[in-house]
Structure 1
Amino acid sequence: MDKSTLITKLSLKYGFILAAVSIVISLTLYFINPVMLYTNFALPFVILIIFIALLVFVGINIRKEIGGYWTFGEAFKSFLIIALILAFTSVLYNVVLMTLIDPDLPSKAASAIEESQRSMMEKFGMGADQIDEAMAKAGNMQEKLAPTFKNSFTSFGVSLALYGVLSLILAAILKKKEPVTFNTLPEQEA
């Protein structure tokens, strides 16, 4: 099997493993508190850090499995395949969650987000009129969270863009050139 095919195969394998991990984490958090991901501002950053660490781990494993060396292009290709899988499964999971598992989740999450935002604005000393104005500018949260084609497509695009940037960064960090070796002929004895 050539190197490019092996990279693709391993990227698909690890992409689906990371997608499964992502779904397990999301379902676990959902069963703990369905709106936790929408109202806890630190949680998405913690999950992002965990996934960056997992992507680095996966990248190092793929590099080892293909011989210990890969170019920037090969690393980027690998991370991009993984990113496509993660973005697609994330959108698919959210559609299934919000249409089949818990169709009321968009309205529950929207209410929780609005309540959380109001509480935060009150802590900053904003008046009721200012809060109402800010909430009106934010728009209808339930519409933004609903699993419509437009929202799903937008979510996929944003996820892919973020993962794309992350793929560039990780590929630049994890690339490793094969050392140059010189073949020298044995010296002839005089």
Structure 2
Amino acid sequence: MQKSSNPGLLWGVVGGISLIFLNVITYIAGPSVLFSWWNSVLQLAVFIVIAIFAGLEVKKQQGGYISFKEALKPIFTTFIIGTAILTVYQYVLYKYIDPKLVDALKDNLLESTEKWMHRFKAPQEEIDKQLDELSKTDFNVGIKKSFMDFLKGIIFYFAIAAIISLIIRKKPVERPLQ
């Protein structure tokens, strides 16, 4: 079997499927789990580990050495492919499988915002103002919104990919000519 020139393609599919799997499990557990902050952190951590595998695979193919640019390509590709797969899944979930999930997301966000604002001792009038603005927000999912969310995700993941690439890069030791 021939190795792909960019392992990010394979790892991107693995990442997208892994995130869908985690989403399905948390969806079954209920909105309080699906929309929890720790679920977001867990999914981000899983996605980062998968992207690191893509970079390390290229590094191994090149004998343990990799430049920043060579590392960035498979890592960022992993994030692009995985995010695209997850975006399509979430569009289908919110638009066709469970359209009422949008209301659960809004309710959960209002509840958690109020809780956090109370925790940070915000004045009640500020809490009411924030909750009022938030309740007016349209949370419905459409093609345009999904695409914009995808682009925002890609910008965020480019920064993560750059950091990972800086960490795993390794230049060969240059020996002076004698």
* TM bracket (short chain): 0.7 to 0.9
Give, in whole Å, the separation in 2 of the partners of 1:22 and 1:43.
Answer: 11
Per-residue deviation, 1:118: 2.4
1:133 Cα shift? 1.2
Is contact 1:11-1:62 (8 Å) kept? no
The aligned amino acid for 1:146 is N
Q: Which residue of 2 aligns with 1:121?
A: 117
By how many angstroms is 1:128 displaced?
4.9
Percent identity between the two aligned chains: 24
Match for residue 166 of structure 1 among 160, 170, 173: 160
Match in the other structure for 1:53 = 49
Query: Amino acid of the residue matched to residue 37 of structure 1?
Result: L
Verify the 8 A CA contact 1:70 1:175 in the aligned structure 2.
yes
1:36 aligns to what? 33
| RMSD (Å), alpha carbons | 2.7
Q: Pick which of 62-71 and 20-29 moved more.
A: 62-71
Pairs aligned (count): 177
Q: Does 1:98 align with 2:109?
A: no
Give the greater-gyration-radius structure (CA): 1
Q: How much has 1:181 moved relative to structure 2?
A: 7.0
Aligned to 2:77, which of 72, 76, 81? 81
Deviations, residues 113-169 of structure 1 (Å, cap 9, x unaligned): 21222233344455654322121233534x1x3211332122111110011111111
Match 2:66 to one of 70, 80, 87: 70
Name the amino acid aligned to 1:56: I
The runs of 5 or more residues in structure 1 that have no matched partner are 185-190
**Equivalent residue letter for 2:98:** D
The equivalent residue for 1:7 is 5
Question: Which letter does structure 2 place at the counterpart of 1:7?
Answer: S
